[in-house]
Structure formats: structure tokens, C-alpha cells
Structure 1
């Protein structure tokens, strides 16, 4: 058993035991070479060569993912003949702990946490990584409210050999997808289901298939796919109904789930949902950049993608219905028509990239057609000398898009250090982001997001241009 002040790999000094579970223990430690806090994960199931191989693979796979909503793996080291994971240290509590403390959580909080986690899992899926164990226990909420998915301990990169015993069902039973509970391999759609089950548990106060001390009975329930009816019927409930489908082919992709949760967070109609009837969007407020989720003195505050939300528990009556949402206006990009008087001499009137010549006194009407897509920029976090940005891309055309490109002037002295959900090109004058492989297709009025971290003086507010094709 490791003890306080023990030094791992000649570098990481154990400071405080912060977590214990069936898989092992986690210590807060100090990296004495870099002078920073880290988390050291010492796994108990490392007594066989297969287990050692699994843990080494875990570190290799998890280290491939760099995303602000996924816990970063820094290193894999050996201690006492066993490998240990050295990870980002995040002062946090789990979503499971929050549910245990408060019971069912407000829709705003659950949707916001799910939106963050889905962004990380979509990036993982784009890199060929299946998490395989998405649960309320593996969703961490930082002190500033940032949500991160942790423990890719049973993750498997598509194309790598599986080293886990094929007879063993990997993952927490209450959150497994039916196909995994039935003994099939986990795929991307399995992570989608597990995230849906995680959000269901946070919203309803219990997992979709209940709980029992008999794991075999629970696996049978999960494999049968009979989800307990939800008591909550808001827009998030509509999203979960799409996600918790027994057939993996009928579920949205993780990128699509991210877009659906974004619509819930922003109070917009769900992509693909009928536009008539009661969509019951969340109460919308004036749009401001996404900042953070804060957990303070029993209140939950979510500032996300242009909305400010308080703890909604106080806004529900005894019947469980939400108060009417205030009227909100969604920005659009209508066609712009300008009237320009032209002098008797030849004059060039510039509209976008088109030059119109006139040779007599008249009025030339120049119409700028609406863009096929729009892009909205927001700052999600900032610190001295750097910031994290989030961009929402929306299909504003009358037909589906297959690809998109967002361009903006490059701010002087700014350098992008990390980008997810897109492909980055930077030249002397501009920054260009094109879609990733998983988020290029957008249905009519559909949306997706990308984000990045950057270093530079101040926080920019760039003028974005979005084009399709």
C-alpha cells in the first residue's frame, strides 16, 4: 500500500489520497521536476501481464486525446513492478456525488454538463477512441464548474487488439448499452447510450434500469433494453428518448448528440424536431459568451453559449412544469439591400466581392445573398496571456450542407495551441478552420461546434466568415 510522501518514479511525491474504488486508488501528488500538482492513479488490477498491458495501453490511448473537457494523461510510469498513470489533477467532485447529495438535478445543469462531455467524446470518436465506461462516477465537475470526462481505463482504440478477457463485460452495468450487456463489443454508439444513461440518472435521480445488488439481474435488464419511463418531459427528455434506443443504428452520433444538447442549453428547437407545438425551450436570456458552470452554496449557475441560467428547481411548481419562457430573438442573417447613388461619371460600387459599373445618374440596388452558414464566436475561459474559445456553426441554407469553412483575421500576437472538432490552417493574415470528418454534414438549421485554446495579449472578438463547400 502506497503511503504519503512516497515518491513514484523518482519524481511524483504522494500528498493526499483523494479517491478509492474497485479499480484502485488515486492520489494527489506533486511533480517535483515541474513543480505542479498531478493525480497519480495506482491500479489494483495489475497483477498479471495482461493487466499490465491493458494499463499501458490505457495510457497510450488516453494520452492521444487533448481536449478541455477530458482529463489529460501526462505519463505512464512504473512503480513496484506496476504501471501508474500520471494525470491532470482536477479539484473536483463527481456527478454521482452531486446526485447523491441533491437528488435529481435541474435540466439546465444536466444539459450543460452533458454538452461539455459530449464535445470531448465526439473528439475521442473522431480519433477512433471508444471510452466504454461513461458513468456519473467518471464525469468530474471542477471547482469552477467545468465538466470533464475521466477514466479512459477501459477505453479501446478502434484497430487495436483487445487485451481484456473476451468473457468479461467491461463497464459499469447500470450505464451499459444493451448491446454491450448482451456481450457484444462496445462501439461509438455504445458511448452515446452510456452518456444518455448518465444524463438520465442525473435528471431523474437514478439510472435508466434502476439499481440492484445483483449485477447479473441488472445486466439482464439492460440487455432487454426496457428503460423506465421518465418523469421529466422537457426538451432534455426528448433528447434522451432519441439516445436511449435499443438499436445502436437508431441513435444519434456523439457529434449529433452534442448539437442536440447545445440546442437544449441555448433554448432553441431541437434539430429535426417538429416546429409546431410546445417545444418548452429553457428560459432564454440575452446572449453572452459561454463562461462556466459554478457550484456555489447550494445554487447552480450555468453561463453557456449565450444564456445565463440559475437553478431551475425554484422555478418549477408542484406539478413539475416550468414557468413560461420569456420571449427571445435568435439572430439571423437576412439579405441586405443597399441603395447607392451613382455620379454621372463611371463609378464602381463594391458589394461583397462583386464590382458593378454604372455610367449614368441612377440608383443601383445591390443585394447580398444570405450566407449558407453562420458562425458565432464566444470565449469560454480566459487567463493571463491566454484564452479558450468556442465557435458555433449553423446551417443557414435551405438544404443540407456537406462541409463548411470558417475564416477570420488573425489577431496580432495570437497563436492557437490546440483545436478540436475541426482542421486548422493559419497564415500571416487569417485563421481558417474547416470541418472535421464527423461534423461536416449539417441538416437544415442544424449546428455544430469547434473550439480551441490560444495564447496572446487580450481576448479577441473577431469578425467570422462562414462558407460552405
Structure 2
């Protein structure tokens, strides 16, 4: 039991509670060694994991918190230290006198679009910096956005959702993360990545202007997860000039969302998103009826094509008296017309890189609906895949194969998966990928 005036790690004196959530209790504390005020988050995982994975969870928390401590940005709460207290991991963080965005919304209701854009630009800037060093937040929501009295916004709790577990749901059926703000691919069972952070930011800003998350609220988290996994949001009704930006951030297809740096640029400068051009129409419209003159021209063209084919075949068989037959007949063209066109194509793009790693996005496109697919390639020397989302990875040495996740097995036009890879140096090599329909 932790109480006021307890001393954590021999230097952090607890002064008073700031808040409590599913991850644990946050205290305002005094760092007696450096004589400064800090926030101490005493993490508790019994409620989240049922007490079944404590030692492994503690190890992950320490690793992820140390990773988060690498991030230095004016709009990210800085992690100062990672310590233990009564056998529990604790995060020692920058103390910011503030309210969470969730509390602000409870007090004021929905916020004006221009104010939300300013908040969004600050948070996007911090998240872009995190992405550039390979950190995925995984739990962006109004509770994790802090607003200071002067309007400064800061994002907190980097890496904690990932430390709890990579799956959306634990073995005990407890959801790790907040369903209302998850990306569809994560709600459907895929792993979180940079694109899902972008979506969660969009959900957070949507809730700030609309007063409710894009998929509504439901006391049944399973029902809410299913609704989120469809990607079919309730269209914004009162977001005003911010509406196009929200719709860009909330694209169901991860490959159609902006990068976090693009999101920061557009939110900060009031730039509209680029005009979206869907790859295929969502509805096939009947062609317009041709005019009578068009019909006559079309019939004449068909007749000429047929006559040309007849003459060409006759010449090819040597039936024409003007063309002597000299050896076997040649094909009309030198292309391999007998080979069926591929129904599955993959486009591999390196979307972000840093000195010892990079992020890649692979888009799978179908020329006709697929009931399954696999993408394979040879991993360049020195590279290793650390985290993959929206797919299932299998690897034998340097031979890599990715199969779909459950939610994107069937593909009508396109889907995508992404991953973070480590390298032994800068300038990662882009491999050749092969897509096969199943």
C-alpha cells in the first residue's frame, strides 16, 4: 500500500495523488536529490493482466520506458527515470500542472475546430519525433493528452500500452488499450504501428470537436471493437474546417493516411489535405448510352478489326498467293499472351528511417478480388524485422513471407501491412517483393 510521504527509490517523496487509471496511480512527488517536482506513476498490472504475467510485464515496462526516455520534445512528457517500488515498476516523469484533454472536454464540451487544430499540431509534432526514432505510442487518447494553462499540449505514456502486451486482447479477455480510439487494423487483431498512431490521433481530435469518438461509445468493449474494426465512422457534423483533415487521418486503409510529420504540417499551417483519388470506384455506374452516330462508328471499327484478323490469319497460314510459306508460322506478337495476368501485386516502400532502423509499408493490390495472399522476399544482409502489423510473419533465415491478418485476408482492391526493421547502418536496402494470390 502506497501512501503520502512514502519515499520511492530513496529519493522521490510522494506529495499527493494527481490521478488514477487502469495503468496505475500518478503522484506528484519531490525529487529530494535534485530539489524539483516530478510525477511518479506507480504501475499496477493486476487489474489489467489478472496477475498472470507480472515478472515478464515488469521487464517489458522497464525496456519500453527506457526507450521512451530517449525522446526529447517540447510536446512530449519527458521520462526522467525508471525505478521500482514495493516490487512494482515506476516511471518518474516531468511534472506538468495541467488537465487532461478528457477532463477539458468534460468541463467545456466539444471544442472549436481552430483550438483542436492547435492541440493536434503540437501532439503530432511530438509523435512525429517519436516515429523518427522508432517509437510507436500505441495508446493515443484524450486521457493521454495534457493541456497546460497557457495552451501547451503534451502527450504522455509513451510505450506503456506496448509494454502491457502486443495483442489487443490478453489471454484473460482484458483489452490492452482503449477500444474507442484504436485503428481498425488494431481492433481487428493486427499489431499497432505508425499508421495506427495517426488514426488514433484522428480519433482523439474527432472526439475533441464532435464531443464523442468516431465510433461512438459502448459499455460492451467487444461490440465496440467489432464496430471499430469495420472502419466505418460516423461522419463529422460540427468539426467545420477541420473535417477534411479528420477524414484524412481516419482513412480505413493505413496506406492512405498521412505520415505523422505530414499531419503536423497540415494541422499547424491550416493546409487542406491533398485531394483524395480512390484507386477504384466504390460503385460501378452503367456507361452512358451511345448516340446513333457513335453506334455506326463502333460497328464499322469492329468490322475492320474482324477483317484484319481474318486477313492476318490467312497470311500467317500461308493461304495468300502473295505470301509464300517459309517454315513454321510465327505468332502474331512476341509477348507471352498465353500467360494469365497476375491478380496480386505488391509495392514496397521505405516510409521512414533512422540510423539503426527503418519503417516499411507494403501495399498489396488486387486486379480482381482475392480470397488470400502472401508476399515474400529475401531479407537483405544485416536487416531484421522487429515489429510487423496487419499481417502474419514467417521467416526461415533470410527468406521472409507475410500472410494476411484475419481482417484483411479477402481483398477487393488493396490492403497493406507494415513493419519496423533494424539494420547495421544507415541507407537500408530495398528488396524485391513477390505477391502471390491464394
Query: In the alignment, which residue of structure 2 is the partner of 1:93?
Result: 99
- Tell me, yes or no, if the aligned pair for 1:5 and 1:13 is still in contact at 8 Å: yes
For 1:130, what is the secondary structure of its paired residue? coil
2:67 is aligned with 1:65:
no
Shift of 1:167: 4.7
Q: How does 1:349-428 map to 2 (within 5 A)?
A: none
Which residue, 183, 188, 194 being the options, matches 1:177?
183
Q: 1:80 to 1:135 in 2, by over 3 A?
A: same
For 2:198, what is the secondary structure of its paired residue? helix
For 2:160, what is the secondary structure of its paired residue? coil
Query: In the alignment, which residue of structure 2 is the partner of 1:15?
Result: 15
Shift of 1:118: 0.1
Shift of 1:155: 5.3
Shift of 1:95: 0.5
Structure 1 runs of 4+ off > 4 angstroms? 162-167
- Tell me, yes or no, if the aligned pair for 2:42 and 2:90 is still in contact at 8 Å: yes
Q: Distance in 2 between matches of 1:185 and 1:230?
A: 27
Query: In the alignment, which residue of structure 2 is the partner of 1:137?
Result: 143
Shift of 1:199: 0.1
- Tell me, yes or no, if the aligned pair for 2:17 and 2:28 is still in contact at 8 Å: yes
Shift of 1:197: 0.2
Query: In the alignment, which residue of structure 1 is the partner of 2:128?
Result: 122
Aligned length: 271
Query: In the alignment, which residue of structure 2 is the partner of 1:272?
Result: 274
For 2:62, what is the secondary structure of its paired residue? helix
Shift of 1:58: 2.6
For 1:227, what is the secondary structure of its paired residue? coil
- Tell me, yes or no, if the aligned pair for 1:140 and 1:149 is still in contact at 8 Å: yes
Q: 1:144 to 1:251 in 2, by over 3 A?
A: same
Write 1 or 2 for the structure with the bigger share of helix.
2
For 2:272, what is the secondary structure of its paired residue? coil
Q: Distance in 1 between matches of 2:197 and 2:89?
A: 26
Query: In the alignment, which residue of structure 1 is the partner of 2:233?
Result: 227
- Tell me, yes or no, if the aligned pair for 2:4 and 2:15 is still in contact at 8 Å: yes
2:262 is aligned with 1:256:
yes
Query: In the alignment, which residue of structure 1 is the partner of 2:87?
Result: 81
Larger radius of gyration between Structure 1 and Structure 2 = 2
2:44 is aligned with 1:44:
yes
Q: Distance in 2 between matches of 1:124 and 1:270?
A: 24
- Tell me, yes or no, if the aligned pair for 2:266 and 2:273 is still in contact at 8 Å: yes
- Tell me, yes or no, if the aligned pair for 1:4 and 1:14 is still in contact at 8 Å: yes
| TM norm structure 1 | 0.55
Query: In the alignment, which residue of structure 1 is the partner of 2:153?
Result: 147
Q: Greater relative contact order: 1 or 2 (C-alpha under 8 angstroms, separation 6 or more)?
A: 2
Q: C-alpha deviations, 1:142-168, integer Å up to 9, x for none?
A: 1222100011143559xxxx9546753
- Tell me, yes or no, if the aligned pair for 2:209 and 2:239 is still in contact at 8 Å: no
- Tell me, yes or no, if the aligned pair for 1:110 and 1:203 is still in contact at 8 Å: yes
Write 1 or 2 for the structure with the bigger share of strand.
1
2:114 is aligned with 1:108:
yes
- Tell me, yes or no, if the aligned pair for 2:111 and 2:208 is still in contact at 8 Å: yes
Shift of 1:273: 4.9
Which residue, 51, 54, 57 being the options, matches 2:60?
54
- Tell me, yes or no, if the aligned pair for 1:129 and 1:156 is still in contact at 8 Å: no
Q: Distance in 1 between matches of 2:168 and 2:243?
A: 34
Q: Distance in 2 between matches of 1:111 and 1:17?
A: 31
- Tell me, yes or no, if the aligned pair for 1:209 and 1:222 is still in contact at 8 Å: yes
CA RMSD of aligned residues (A): 2.3
Shift of 1:235: 2.4
Q: Distance in 1 between matches of 2:168 and 2:249?
A: 26
Q: C-alpha deviations, 1:347-379, integer Å up to 9, x for none?
A: xxxxxxxxxxxxxxxxxxxxxxxxxxxxxxxxx
Query: In the alignment, which residue of structure 1 is the partner of 2:343?
Result: none
